[in-house]
Amino acid sequence: MRLKPDRDFVKDSIQDVFLDVYEHRAKLSVPNNINFYLFKALKRNIFKKLKIERKADDFRPLSTMDFVTEYNIENETIGKEIDKRKKEIVTQLMKELTPKQQEILYLKFTKGFNYIEISQIIGIDHNSVRKQVYRAIKKARENPIFKEHSNIIFFMLYPSLT
């Protein structure tokens, strides 16, 4: 979803990956880490589709809005404001990082890949991945917004404590 926020596009890509695995199952070897293998295959599939989409310059109509009934407007409004502030903080911190650092942090902390797997996905040495993670975290911690809102960031990382 981070590569292409279109839910149907991502679902189709996932389906394509599993279809490819099924169709070519006789030729494939058993991977060491199935999660890593599928993630890398999905990323390649999405990039391939995005490249084709850019060439075709395909414009899709906007989807219609769904009707949703909410009964507790006050709690919803407060929740939205808190979520908005959290997103602003993270966005400000992430703007300070390079796109490669952003992707590496996403793969490391959101997807849980190890340094070697990330290096294979990104295409750089695993020691460089380690350095990029260290530098990105150091840069984020030095940012005044991190110091000012470190308590909010802590609860974003550990929502079960709230």
Residues 97-112 have a mean pLDDT of 86
**Residue 12: its H or E element:** helix 7-23
- The domain limits of the chain are 7-56, 93-161
Residues 112-126 have a mean pLDDT of 90
Kindly report whether the global pTM for this prediction surpasses the value 0.85.
no
Tens-place pLDDT, residues 121-162 = 988 999 999 999 899 888 877 877 776 766 555 555 545 444
The count of C-alpha atoms lying within 13 angstroms of the C-alpha of 36, restricted to the half-sphere facing its C-beta, is 16
Dist. CA 98–CA 59, nearest whole Å: 29
**Residue 15: its H or E element:** helix 7-23
The count of C-alpha atoms lying within 13 angstroms of the C-alpha of 111, restricted to the half-sphere facing its C-beta, is 22
Pick the CATH number of 93-161 from 2.20.28, 1.10.10, 3.30.70, 1.10.3470: 1.10.10
Whether the pLDDT of residue 77 is over 70: the answer is yes
